[in-house]
Amino acid sequence: MKEFFKQYTPFYKNYKLQFFYAFIGIILVAGATSGTAYAIQPLLDDIFINKDEDMLYMMPIFVILLYTAKGFGRYIQAYYISFIGQDITRIVRDRLFAHVLTLDMNFFQKKHGGELVSRIINDINRIQSAVSNYIAEFIREVLTIFGLVGLVIYHSPELAFYGLIVLPLAIYPLSKLAKRMKKLSFKSQETNADITTSLSESFNNIEIIKANSTEKIESNKFSIHNKNFFKYNMKAVKTNELTSPLMEMIGSLAFAAVILVGGSKVISGELTTGVFSSFIAALFMLYSPIKRLSSLYNKMQDALAANHRINEMLNQSPTILSGNTQFPEEIKSISFKDVFLKYDDFTALSNINLEAKKGETIALVGDSGGGKSSLINLIIRFYDTSKGEVKLNDELLNDLDIKSLRENISIVTQRVYIFNDTISANIAYGYDIDEKRVIEVLKQAHAYDFIQKMPQGINTTLDEFGTNLSGGQRQRIAIARALYKNPQILILDEATSALDNESESIISQVIDEVSVDKITFIIAHRLSTIKNATKIAVFKDGEIVCMDTEDNLLKTCEEYKRLYNLANM
Ligand SMILES: Nc1ncnc2c1ncn2[C@@H]1O[C@H](COP(=O)(O)OP(=O)(O)OP(=O)(O)O)[C@@H](O)[C@H]1O
């Protein structure tokens, strides 16, 4: 808990004014609560017993003022405290998202999107009350307790002793309950993340689910997570709701003692009825803030668990670090020397030696899982080599500024990413929109014809998954996007797989034309796409087993011949 506040206290200095207003509200509420208990004494003694008429007119005004002050206090406290809580969570959520985006590809490959969504939305919501409301409630309840304790002691120190003596008895069971709450909060949050993960997985794979009629299986899987969530929430309710009856039972012991001792004092005339009633009222009122404090402590456990998970992510730092050298004006070559790549313990690439020069197109072929995409992962620095070096001109790739490296690389993969925005914004993604250039690259990618026919041409809005486009049209958009920034390295990973033969050969021609001043890497299963490549690297089990032109490979490389024959069967 200490750590939690250490982490969030620095935020508070930006909200001095809001805290000031909230504090006034808190004082009004705490003061008015004690005032209400106090008012019972003159009400009974002066009005009912002494028949004081002045009091009869003053008391109603006093009560109205008291409740008005309390209502006003509660309102401004609630408003300003919420403001602080909402604003801090907004900032933490922004920070967390920005931080997560800087993490390695490896992180995203291991974490489910749904889990990340759950942390950024649900976990941060959970800390919102803790950074604001709980603090305010804590201060308010403590002040109220002080006010009421002061009042009971003022009325009768002896009775106060009997009324308050049982309080320490409550500490042990309450702390047990709090510990249990902490454990349950963790569980409940984990199962909540499972639910989000399961949902996002299902919606992302809806095509496969429908095509295989697995709706029932998926909804059953979801039900299990949902049931677990229910189970832990109910356990938490069971624990949390025990606080109140427990406090009341312990409290009843105190009341019994007070009635016995206080009642006999009233009978013997030592205490007036008014003082005794005011005392009892204050004691009654006292138990409710104490109860609230302990349930606050339990709720705080939930926030601590969420914060622990948030910190887990905030404490992760990227291992793919940027160098300082800007990407060269002109690329001359990229070379791999004795390169190895491991994903955790699995060696995906070994002994890679390859050099590509400006103007060359290198094709990467081989069976699935051979390591082709892994080589691309190294060029764009989604991963770093485990051994060996990759150089661009004479500069180590790792010494280059990552942003400038990626600005000079365009990659088109089989999976096309479309953003919910206009076609021109999709093409110029990350750069200013130059409509002339957008049209130029759309023409190069043979996409302009179908886009012209759309209602608003290049200003037509695409939906997030590009569902208003065919697979081939989406790929052309992706190719146009890759060409837009005129990269020095162009990577096409199965980029033309969704195109028909005719379109593919047209696009291949375009790529041949644009690649004269670049280094181009092409991964393609359709070998017709790569026949013009400068050289073809044949991958098998993470190694390049042959590398040459197609003609030579057909003469010398058994593995290529096998692939070639397979493709032409
Ligand atoms: N992020 C990763 N973590 C762990 N293993 C991985 C990861 N990415 C790839 N692999 C493994 O590395 C090996 C090479 O994968 P890679 O994607 O480079 O093959 P590929 O030749 O591009 O295959 P395909 O033609 O199917 O795209 C495979 O066995 C794959 O399971």
Q: What percent of the chain has pLDDT over 90?
A: 31
Phi-psi category of 396—alpha, beta or left, where left has phi over 0 and alpha has psi -120 to 50?
A: beta
C-alpha–C-alpha distance, residues 248 and 256, integer Å: 12
∠ CA 338-343-346, rounded to 5°:
85
CA of 338 to the centre of ligand 1 (A): 19
Q: What atom in ligand 1 is closest to the CA of residue 374?
A: 18
* pLDDT above 90: residue 109: no
Give the DSSP per-residue string, 38-89: HHHHHIIIIIIIS--HHHHHHHHHHHHHHHHHHHHHHHHHHHHHHHHHHHHH
Listed ranges 170-174, 263-267, 466-470; the one with the highest mean pLDDT: 263-267
- Categorize the per-residue pLDDT at 59 as very low, low, confident or very high, splitting at 50, 70 and 90: confident
Give the dihedral sign, CA 344/347/348/351: positive
C-alpha–C-alpha distance, residues 527 and 512, integer Å: 15
* pLDDT above 80: residue 77: yes
222 lines ligand 1 (CB under 6 A): no
364 lines ligand 1 (CB under 6 A): no
Nearest alpha carbon, ligand 1 atom 17:
373
Pocket probe mutation, ligand 1, options 319, 345, 373, max atoms within 8 Å of Cβ:
373
Q: What atom in ligand 1 is closest to the CA of residue 383?
A: 1
When the pLDDT of each residue in the chain is averaged and rounded to a whole number, the result is 87
The structure tokens listed for 333 are 């070559």
Helix axes 2-12, 124-131, angle to 10 degrees: 80
* CB contact burial 424-451 (16+ within 10 A = b; e otherwise): bbbbbeeeebeeebbbebbebbbbbeeb
Torsion of CA 249, 254, 260, 261, to 10 degrees: 180
More confident residue, 438 or 52: 438
More confident residue, 516 or 230: 230
Q: What is the mean pLDDT of residues 457-469?
A: 76
Q: What is the mean pLDDT of residues 206-219?
A: 86
CA atoms within 13 A on the CB side of 401: 9
pLDDT value for 350 = 93
CA of 316 to the centre of ligand 1 (A): 24
172 lines ligand 1 (CB under 6 A): no
- Categorize the per-residue pLDDT at 430 as very low, low, confident or very high, splitting at 50, 70 and 90: confident
* pLDDT above 80: residue 507: no
Give the DSSP per-residue string, 337-401: EEEEEEETTEEEEEEEEEEEETT-EEEEEESTTSSHHHHHHHHTTSS--SEEEEEETTEEGGGB-
Nearest alpha carbon, ligand 1 atom 28:
369
pLDDT value for 67 = 92
- Whether the CB-CB separation of 427 and 391 falls below 8 Å is answered with no
Q: Which amino acid makes up residue 58?
A: M
Cβ neighbours of residue 209 under 8 Å, at least 6 residues apart? Answer: 202, 215, 218
C-alpha–C-alpha distance, residues 191 and 429, integer Å: 37
Q: Which of 89-98, 99-108, 472-481, 506-515 has the lowest mean pLDDT?
A: 506-515
Strand (E) or helix (H) holding 545: strand 543-548
More confident residue, 248 or 65: 65
pLDDT in tens, 213-252: 889 999 999 999 999 999 999 998 888 888 778 877 888 8
C-alpha–C-alpha distance, residues 53 and 42, integer Å: 12
189 lines ligand 1 (CB under 6 A): no
CA atoms within 13 A on the CB side of 540: 10
Cβ neighbours of residue 203 under 8 Å, at least 6 residues apart? Answer: none
371 lines ligand 1 (CB under 6 A): yes
C-alpha–C-alpha distance, residues 444 and 478, integer Å: 12
107 lines ligand 1 (CB under 6 A): no
369 lines ligand 1 (CB under 6 A): yes
CA atoms within 13 A on the CB side of 406: 12
* pLDDT above 90: residue 376: yes
More confident residue, 200 or 340: 340
Pocket probe mutation, ligand 1, options 343, 523, 538, max atoms within 8 Å of Cβ:
343
pLDDT value for 498 = 67
Count CB neighbours of 80 within 10 A: 23
- Categorize the per-residue pLDDT at 467 as very low, low, confident or very high, splitting at 50, 70 and 90: low
Torsion of CA 98, 101, 102, 103, to 10 degrees: 130
Q: What atom in ligand 1 is closest to the CA of residue 377?
A: 18
* pLDDT above 80: residue 27: yes
C-alpha–C-alpha distance, residues 125 and 117, integer Å: 12
Pocket probe mutation, ligand 1, options 320, 346, 527, max atoms within 8 Å of Cβ:
346
Give the DSSP per-residue string, 157-213: HHHHHHHHTTHHHHHHHHHHHHHHHHHHHHHHHHHHHHHHHHHHHHHHTHHHHHHTT
pLDDT value for 381 = 94
* CB contact burial 15-33 (16+ within 10 A = b; e otherwise): beebbebbbebbbbbbbbb
pLDDT value for 106 = 87
48 lines ligand 1 (CB under 6 A): no
pLDDT in tens, 393-407: 989 999 999 999 999
CA of 399 to the centre of ligand 1 (A): 26
pLDDT value for 198 = 86
CA atoms within 13 A on the CB side of 96: 22
* pLDDT above 80: residue 433: yes
Pocket probe mutation, ligand 1, options 106, 342, 374, max atoms within 8 Å of Cβ:
374
- Categorize the per-residue pLDDT at 464 as very low, low, confident or very high, splitting at 50, 70 and 90: low
CA of 205 to the centre of ligand 1 (A): 21
pLDDT value for 466 = 59
C-alpha–C-alpha distance, residues 524 and 511, integer Å: 14
- Whether the CB-CB separation of 477 and 507 falls below 8 Å is answered with no
C-alpha–C-alpha distance, residues 120 and 94, integer Å: 9
- Categorize the per-residue pLDDT at 465 as very low, low, confident or very high, splitting at 50, 70 and 90: low
110 lines ligand 1 (CB under 6 A): no
Q: What is the mean pLDDT of residues 294-298?
A: 79
CA of 394 to the centre of ligand 1 (A): 28
- Whether the CB-CB separation of 48 and 162 falls below 8 Å is answered with no
- Whether the CB-CB separation of 403 and 322 falls below 8 Å is answered with yes
By the 10 Å C-beta count (0-12 exposed, 13-18 middle, 19+ buried), 136 is classed as buried
pLDDT value for 515 = 85
348 lines ligand 1 (CB under 6 A): yes
CA of 385 to the centre of ligand 1 (A): 15
pLDDT value for 401 = 93
Q: How far from chain centre, in Å, is Cα 38?
A: 49
Instruction: Tally helices (H) and strands (E) across the chain.
Output: 22, 10
374 lines ligand 1 (CB under 6 A): yes
373 lines ligand 1 (CB under 6 A): yes
- Categorize the per-residue pLDDT at 383 as very low, low, confident or very high, splitting at 50, 70 and 90: very high
* pLDDT above 90: residue 162: no
372 lines ligand 1 (CB under 6 A): yes
Strand (E) or helix (H) holding 520: strand 519-523
472 lines ligand 1 (CB under 6 A): no
Strand (E) or helix (H) holding 92: helix 53-102
Give the dihedral sign, CA 274/275/281/282: positive
More confident residue, 471 or 442: 442
All structural domains of the chain, each given as residue ranges with its CATH number in brackets, are 2-314 (1.20.1560.10), 333-567 (3.40.50.300)
